[in-house]
């Protein structure tokens, strides 16, 4: 179990959407300081929030964040992109960017912060996946989130000796700018953030942040051809 109260937290992609909700949630639970990142510099007037520019595709940018946030105890790997173009006919460069941001980005952050977390007692690393980690039909985005799920499960083993708790989060559609064009039922970012932090503080290895993720996870033992992203 990793309590948030009194801790120093990093939230990548913390300017808007789920990231902003996570910043709000950990502050409400008594986090001592929150480093919130975005691709470009921005201002947050709250005294416990430190904003830092971050490009997760750049090892140098990630290393700079780890140097600034050398007191971090909990890291939320939330930054990501959504490019759901088909694998065969979509832009290959978009697919490369998707994997670079959604898979290698969290890996860069994990590698940079592993020694920081170890030096500060172990702490926790929380990685955002998706219900699309388990469903076919979301192109490069779904494939990248499946890879991110695998990445988290391996990082959990590799970080265990230094007592860093690793949490993987699966969520369906969240009411953020990323999926604003989709006409579907969407969870509120604040509700998802609360479930994520609840799971972290309860010592969960995996958080299913909404009913959609619970249902799809339960179907994983069934025929693989049934695990398809619904188009309507």
Lowest mean pLDDT among 150-159, 178-187, 209-218: 178-187
Query: Residue 51: which of 40, 43, 59 has the closest Cα?
Result: 43
All domains in the chain, ordered by first residue: 8-226 (3.40.50.720)
pLDDT of residue 232: 43
| pTM for the full predicted model | 0.92
Q: Each residue of 106-148: pLDDT tens digit?
A: 999 999 999 999 999 999 999 999 999 999 989 999 999 999 9
Q: Each residue of 38-96: pLDDT tens digit?
A: 999 999 999 999 999 999 999 999 999 999 999 999 999 999 999 878 999 999 999 99
* Rounded distance between C-alpha atoms, residue 31 and residue 35, angstroms: 11
pLDDT at 206 over 70: yes
Map residue 10 onto helix, strand or coil. Answer: strand
pLDDT at 181 over 70: no
pLDDT of residue 227: 73
pLDDT of residue 85: 82
Task: Please name the residues in contact with 21: beta carbons below 8 A apart, sequence gap of 6 or more.
Answer: 189, 190, 192, 193
* Rounded distance between C-alpha atoms, residue 21 and residue 190, angstroms: 5
pLDDT at 229 over 70: no
Span 166-194, average pLDDT: 77
pLDDT at 25 over 60: yes
Query: How many Cα neighbours within 13 Å face the side chain of 146?
Result: 12
As separate numbers, helices (DSSP H) first and strands (DSSP E) second, the chain gives 7, 7
pLDDT of residue 180: 45
Q: Which residues pair with 206 in a beta bridge?
A: 168
Continuous H helices in the chain: 17-28, 59-68, 92-99, 105-119, 139-159, 189-202, 211-218
Q: Which residue has the tokens 């008594």?
A: 30
């Amino acid at each position: 179990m990793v309590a948030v109260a009194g801790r120093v937290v990093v939230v990548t992609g913390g300017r808007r959407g789920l990231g902003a909700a996570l910043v709000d949630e950990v502050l409400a639970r008594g986090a001592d300081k929150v480093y919130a990142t975005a691709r470009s510099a921005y201002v947050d007037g709250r005294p416990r929030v430190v904003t830092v520019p971050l490009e997760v595709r750049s090892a140098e940018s990630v290393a700079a964040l780890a140097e600034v946030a050398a007191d971090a105890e909990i890291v939320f790997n939330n930054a990501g992109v959504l490019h759901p173009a088909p694998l065969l006919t979509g832009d290959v460069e978009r697919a490369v960017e998707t994997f670079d941001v959604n898979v290698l980005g969290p890996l860069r952050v994990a590698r940079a912060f592993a020694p920081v977390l170890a030096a500060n007692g172990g702490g926790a690393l929380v990685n955002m996946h998706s219900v699309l980690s388990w469903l076919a039909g979301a192109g490069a985005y779904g494939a990248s989130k499946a890879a991110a799920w695998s990445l988290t499960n391996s990082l959990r083993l590799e970080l265990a000796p230094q007592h860093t708790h690793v949490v993987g989060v699966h969520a369906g559609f969240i009411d953020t700018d990323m999926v604003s064009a989709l006409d579907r039922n969407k969870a509120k970012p604040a509700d998802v953030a609360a479930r994520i932090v609840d799971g972290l503080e309860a010592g969960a290895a995996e958080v299913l942040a909404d009913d959609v993720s619970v249902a799809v996870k339960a179907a994983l033992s069934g025929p693989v051809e049934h695990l398809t992203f619904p188009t309507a």
